[in-house]
């Protein structure tokens, strides 16, 4: 029997999304291959690794993941700069402080924080609200307006608020995170709706990332199927890049809180799994894992 390498080529292609602007802009997507299948497809933008900065500080973070940022957690600007010093490709700013059930920071204050961070770093910014669908509309609109034309990646836009969030994104020259709760049908439905307001090159899919042991396999399979439906079957409503915001999920598990080493592996194994499933942006908390995952992506391991 003669061996013929079963290489495959696909007609579908992940949309190329540009984040940020000017010299510091970064691109994701663009490829017609399955995740990390660099052996059988055209040149693509490799996945990016972001580190998380939180406007709410890190009071509730496990001590081992606060340690690298200990002296800067009260200042999002310094914190973001630290992340870049430690190797992050870009910054993911979570505005947990705007949560009405928590610190309830106003939309204007939140926008001022984002503007400040943006003015001090030269990488693209990802900005997540507090995941309260009403408050997020106020906050994300204020952020979008204050940073008009800066091409942030803003979200989450969810079933309940996508029209208003997408409008703020479209009117002010940004990209949007389309978030659905680990469900392929809901994911496609939201994408289709958003495509009426924004081109696919301005949308990134967040199918929700669960931590290892806490539903990681569901996130894994939704991402893997999203990529297959987009690339192998060519469905244009499923060809946007994927973001895996997993650091927070991993570090809140008991296993990560119980032991430093275990926490490190919890985050890196979850990240590697979702990278293999198709994530184009990984959002992590620990800088050592940021370096490790970048090495994996760059083929240095």
Partner 1 sequence: MAIKGTDIVKKLPEGGKKNCRECGLPTCFAFAMKLASGGIAIDKCPYISPEVRIELEDALSPPIKPVTIGAGANILTVGDEQVLYRHEKTFIHQPGMAVLISDDEPAEAVDAKIKKLKELQFHWVGKVLKADMLALRHVSSGRTAFEALIKKVLPVTDCPLMLISDDTEALLDAHRLCADRKPLLYPATAQNLGKIIAAIQNRPAAVAVKAAGVESLVPLTSRLKEAGLEDILLDPGSRNLQSAIRDQTLIRRAALKQVFRPLGYPTVAFPCFMTGDRQREILLASTFIIKYAGIIVLSDIDEHSLLPLLVQRMNIYTDPRIPMSMEEKVYPINNPDASSPVLITTNWALTYFIVSSEIESSKVPSWLCVKEAGGLGVLTAWAAGKFSGDNIAPFIKKCSIESKVNHRRLIIPGKVARIRHELTEALPDWDIIVGPREANEIPSYLPDLVKSWKN
Q: What are phi and psi of 120, to 5 degrees?
A: -105, -10
C-alpha span between 143 and 54 (Å, rounded): 15
* One character per residue 57-96, x = contact with partner 1 (rule: CB under 8 A): ----------------------------------------
**H or E element, residue 213:** none
Q: Does 292 bind partner 1 (CB under 8 A)?
A: yes
Tokens linked to 78: 């310094």
15-23, 67-75, 136-144, 258-266 -> range binding partner 1 (CB under 8 A):
258-266
Q: Judged by CB under 8 A, which of 24, 100, 181, 199 binds partner 1?
A: 181
Task: Please say whether the dihedral angle defined by the alpha carbons of residues 237, 241, 247 and 248, taken in this order, is positive or negative.
Answer: negative
C-alpha span between 203 and 166 (Å, rounded): 10
Output 8 or 120, the one with its CB closest to partner 1. Answer: 8
C-alpha span between 31 and 94 (Å, rounded): 28
72-80, 116-124, 163-171, 209-217 -> range binding partner 1 (CB under 8 A):
209-217
C-alpha span between 233 and 243 (Å, rounded): 21
Output 191 or 268, the one with its CB closest to partner 1. Answer: 268
Which string of b and e fits 258-292 if b means at least 16 CB within 10 Å?
Answer: eeeeebbbbbbbbbbbbbebbbbbbbbbbbbbbbb
Q: Judged by CB under 8 A, which of 111, 212, 238, 282 binds partner 1?
A: 212
Q: Judged by CB under 8 A, which of 50, 253, 284, 294 binds partner 1?
A: 253
Which residues have a Cβ under 8 Å from the Cβ of 286 and sit 6 or more positions away? Answer: 64, 65, 68, 247, 251, 263, 264, 267
24-32, 76-84, 194-202, 215-223 -> range binding partner 1 (CB under 8 A):
215-223
Q: Does 225 bind partner 1 (CB under 8 A)?
A: yes
14-22, 30-38, 112-120, 166-174 -> range binding partner 1 (CB under 8 A):
30-38
Q: What are phi and psi of 212, to 5 degrees?
A: -45, 130
Output 163 or 224, the one with its CB closest to partner 1. Answer: 224
- Interface contacts to partner 1, rule CB under 8 A: 1, 3-8, 36-39, 101, 181-182, 210, 212-218, 220-221, 224-225, 228, 252-255, 257, 259, 261-262, 264-266, 268-269, 272-273, 276, 288, 292-293, 295-296, 299, 301
């Amino acid at each position: 029997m003669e061996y013929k390498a079963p290489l495959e080529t696909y007609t579908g292609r992940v949309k190329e999304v540009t984040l940020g602007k000017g010299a510091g802009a970064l691109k994701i997507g663009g490829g017609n291959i399955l995740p990390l299948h660099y052996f059988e497809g055209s040149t693509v933008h490799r996945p990016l690794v972001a580190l998380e900065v939180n406007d709410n500080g890190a009071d509730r973070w496990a001590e081992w993941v606060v340690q690298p940022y200990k002296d800067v957690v009260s200042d999002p600007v310094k914190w973001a700069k630290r992340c870049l010093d430690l190797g992050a490709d870009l910054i993911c700013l979570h505005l947990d402080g705007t949560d009405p059930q928590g610190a309830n920071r106003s939309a204007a204050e939140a926008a001022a924080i984002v503007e400040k961070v943006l003015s001090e770093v030269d990488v693209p910014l990802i900005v997540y609200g507090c995941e309260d669908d009403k408050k997020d509309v106020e906050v994300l609109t204020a952020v979008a307006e204050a940073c008009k034309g800066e091409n942030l990646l803003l979200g989450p836009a969810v079933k309940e608020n996508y029209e208003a969030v997408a409008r703020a994104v479209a009117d002010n020259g940004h990209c949007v995170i389309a978030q659905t709760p680990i469900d392929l049908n809901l994911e496609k439905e939201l994408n289709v709706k958003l495509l009426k307001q924004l081109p696919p090159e301005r949308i990134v899919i967040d199918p929700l990332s669960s931590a290892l042991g806490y539903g990681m396999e569901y996130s894994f399979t939704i991402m893997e199927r999203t990529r297959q439906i987009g690339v192998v079957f060519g469905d244009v409503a499923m060809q946007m890049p994927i973001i895996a915001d997993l650091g927070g999920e991993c570090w809140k598990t008991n296993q990560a809180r119980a032991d430093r080493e275990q926490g490190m592996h919890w985050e890196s194994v979850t990240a590697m799994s979702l990278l293999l499933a198709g994530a184009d942006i990984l959002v992590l908390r620990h800088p050592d894992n940021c370096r490790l995952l970048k090495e994996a992506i760059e083929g240095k391991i």
